[in-house]
Homo-oligomer: A and B are copies of this chain.
Amino acid sequence: MQFEILKKDNTSRARLGRCQTAHGVLHTPAFIPVGTQATVKAMTPEELRDMGAEIILANTYHLYLRPGHERIRRLGGLHRFMHWEHPLLTDSGGFQVFSLNSLVKVSEEGVEFQSHLDGSRHFITPEKAIAIQSALGADIIMCLDECTPYPASHEEAECSLQRTLNWSRRCRESHRASHQALFGIVQGGMYADLRRRGVETLAEIGFDGYALGGLSVGENKEIMARVIGETAPLLPENLPRYVMGVGMPGDIIQAVREGVDMFDCVLPTRNARNGTLFTRWGKMTIKNARYAEDSSPIEPECPCYTCRNYSRAYLRHLYFAEEILAFRLNTIHNLHFYLAFIREMRQAIAEDRMDGFMQDFNSRWEPSVEPERNPSLLSLPTGKRISLAARI
C-alpha cells in the first residue's frame, strides 16, 4: 500500500491524502461504511460507489463464525464473494469478541469466546486473526487487540495495552501477504502516558498504518477528543492514521484537525434503520408526528436518491410499516450525508479552511443525545418493537 500526503491544512493538523491499495485508490480523510456480514446493510455495492464510497469495512469476527473464512477463501475471497472489487478493510475481530460476549477468557496466548450465534466456543490468537484476514483477503487488515473497557484503572489499562502490544508483535511476525497492508492498534485507555507508550512500541515494530482503538466505548466526548488530540500527533507522520468506531460528524471534524485520516462508524447505517436521519442542522427522527403529512424531502437541497423522490410523510409511513424500503431509503440518505460531508471536508483542507469548516458546522449543528458506539448497544436486541429494525 502506498500513502501519500497531498496537502496539509494551514489552520490545523488536517492532511489531505491518497492511499493506493491492491484494489484501487482511496482519498483521505475517508469515511468507511461498515459492512459487518459482507454487506453494508440494505445497500448494493453499486449504490455505495454511486454515493462516493471508496472503501468499506467487514467484520472478521462475524465472517469467521459465518460463513467461515476458509469458505470465503475457496469462493475467491471476500471481494468477489460480496461483489465489491474496491478497497476493503477487515478489523481483527477484537472489538466484537469483547463487546458481543459476556464470557471471554483472555490469556497471553489469545482469547477464548463463545459464538453469539450458537454458543460454540472458539479460540483466537494473534496468528489466527492474521490467518483469518489473509483468507478473507482485504486490502487493509488489523492486528488483534484487546479492547480496553471504560472505565479502567491505570493498572488495568496498562496490562491491556501490554497484551495488545505483545499480540501486535506476533501479528506483524505472522503476516506474510504483502498485498495486504497491516495496521497496528493503539490501546491504553484514557491515559496519555499509556497511549504514548503504545504509539512508540507499535512504531518500533513497524506497521503500514496506525489506528486508535478503545474509543467510543462509553467515555464522554471531551475525554475522547482529549485522547485523540494527545495521541494522533505522536503517530508516524507519513502513514495513515485511523480512529476506529468514530463517530458523529463533529467528532470526525475534531479528529481530522488532529491529523487523523480514516474513520469507520455504524452510526449512519444503524441510525437509518432506527429512523434517525442526518441533516445539516442535526438529527431528525422520522417517527415524529410532525412529519405525518409533510410532503417535503428530508433535506430540500440534498441531491440523494431519497431526497429527490420521497417525502418525509412517505418515509414515516414506511418506517412504521416496517418496510424494507424504509431501511434502504434512510440508509441511502445517511450514507450520502456522511460521504458528502467528508468530501466537503477534503475540499476545505485543500483550500486551507478547516477552521472555517468547523465553525460553519458548529454554528448550525444542533447536538442531541444519541447512541454512540457503545458496547452495551451492540448486544443482540431482545424483543423491543424496534428490535426488528435494529436487527436487520
Instruction: Using CB atoms and an 8 Å cutoff, list the residues of chain A in contact with chain B.
Output: 37-39, 41-44, 62, 66-67, 71, 74-76, 81-83, 292-293, 295, 309-311, 313-314, 316-318, 320-325, 327-328, 388, 391-392
Contacts and interface: CB of A to CB of B under 8 A. Distances in A.
A75 B296 CA distance: 10
A320 B328 CA distance: 19
Contact of A324 (B310, B313, B392): B392
A375 B267 CA distance: 40
Contacts of A293: 71, 74-75
A391 B322 contact: yes
A136 B215 CA distance: 50
A314 B81 contact: yes
A56 B384 CA distance: 33
Contacts of A313: 67, 71, 75, 81
A295 B75 CA distance: 6
Contacts of A320: 66-67
8 contacts: A37-B321, A66-B321, A67-B313, A67-B317, A83-B310, A83-B314, A322-B392, A323-B392
Contacts of A292: 67, 71
Given A82-B314, A314-B81, A42 B324 contact: yes
A318 B320 CA distance: 24
Task: Please give me the 10 A-B residue pairs with the lowest Cβ-Cβ distance, nearest first.
Answer: A42-B324, A37-B321, A67-B317, A39-B325, A83-B309, A39-B323, A322-B392, A75-B313, A324-B327, A81-B314
Given A42-B328, A43-B325, A328-B328, 19 more contacts: A37-B317, A37-B323, A38-B314, A38-B318, A39-B321, A41-B325, A42-B324, A44-B328, A66-B321, A67-B313, A71-B292, A71-B313, A74-B293, A76-B295, A83-B310, A322-B391, A324-B324, A324-B327, A324-B328
